[in-house]
Amino acid sequence: MQFTGEGLIIGTRKHGETSIIAEIMIADKGRYFGIVRGGRSKRLRPVLQLGNSVEVTWRARLEDHLGVFNIELIKARAANMIFDKQSLYLGQLLCSHLRLLPERYSHNNLLKMTINLLGNYEDNKHLAMHLAKYELFLLEELGFGLDLYSCAISGESIGLSHISPKTGRAVTLENAKPYIDRLLPLPPFFISDKNASKTDIANGFSITKHFLAKHIWNVRQIDAPATRQQIIDLLLNQL
C-alpha cells in the first residue's frame, strides 16, 4: 500500500530512540498516522513541527497498518509561530481541532480553511470571525452541524436572532421572546457576510464552545484545548 500527497503536520510523539510517529492531515486522504524513521534527527526535527506543510509518501504492507512516512518540507510555519504568541496559540488550537476528526476520512474543505487561517491576517477582527466560523464548520464536519437558516418554530428565514442550546436550531426574535433567557444569541455574521461587533464575535465563540462541549469534549471526556481561550482572549482584547 502506498500513496503520495500534501499534508499539514498536526501532531507528533516519540517512537523508540530515534523515530517519531507523525499525525498528518493529508489532502484527499484525511488524518493519517505514520512512523518517520530518524524523525528526531537534526535534519528532520525542524520539519516535523506543528503547522508545517509537507509532501508525504505513506507506505504499509497492509492498509490497516500504521505505515511509514517519507517527508519533505513544503512550507515552514513553525519557526515563525515560536516568536508570535498569537500565531502559536492559533496553530496549536487548529491542530487540536483537526485531531478530533476520524482517521482516514477526507475533510479537504476543513484542511483548506486551516491553511488559510494559518496565513497572515492583518485584521484581527476578520481573523476572529473566521476562527468562529471555522469552529462552526468543524461541528458540521463532525456530524453535529447547527440549523441556522430557518426558524425551528415558524420556518421563517428572516429575523433569526437566537439558537436553542438543546437542538442547535435558530429561532426568530418573536418566537424567542418567551424563552429568551434560555437561548443563545445568534450573531448575524454566522448566517451572512455582515461585519461583526466584538459582542457578536464573543457570542459566536460561546455558541461553538457550547456545542463542542456538548457533542465532543464532554462525550469523549477530554478538556477543551487550553489555547482556545488564550487565542480568543488575545483577539477580543485587540478589538
Domains and CATH numbers, the chain: 2-79 (2.40.50.140), 121-237 (no CATH)
Q: Note the pLDDT of residue 79.
A: 87
Q: What is the mean pLDDT of residues 89-111?
A: 97
- pLDDT of 121 higher than 80: no
Q: What is the mean pLDDT of residues 52-73?
A: 95
Q: How many CB atoms lie within 10 A of CB 167?
A: 11
Q: What confidence tens digit (pLDDT) does each residue in 4-42 have?
A: 999 999 999 999 999 999 999 999 999 999 999 999 999
- pLDDT band for position 82 (cuts 50, 70, 90): confident
Q: In what order do the strands lie in the sheet with 160-163?
A: 170-172, 160-163, 184-185
The span from the CA of 47 to the CA of 52, in Å, is 7
The closest of 162, 164, 175 to 214, measured between CA atoms, is: 164
Dihedral sign for Cα 169, 170, 174, 176, please. positive
- For residue 4, give the C-alpha cell: 503520495
The span from the CA of 12 to the CA of 36, in Å, is 10
- pLDDT of 120 higher than 80: no
The span from the CA of 191 to the CA of 159, in Å, is 11
The span from the CA of 129 to the CA of 121, in Å, is 11
- pLDDT band for position 237 (cuts 50, 70, 90): very high
Torsion angle of the four alpha carbons 222, 30, 88, 200, in this order, in degrees rounded to the nearest 10: -70
Given a contact cutoff of 8 angstroms between Cβ atoms, the answer to whether 182 and 165 are in contact is yes
Q: Note the pLDDT of residue 63.
A: 87
Predicted TM-score of the model (pTM): 0.95
- For residue 106, give the C-alpha cell: 477526507
Q: Note the pLDDT of residue 64.
A: 87
Partners of 22 in beta bridges: 12, 34
Q: Note the pLDDT of residue 195.
A: 87
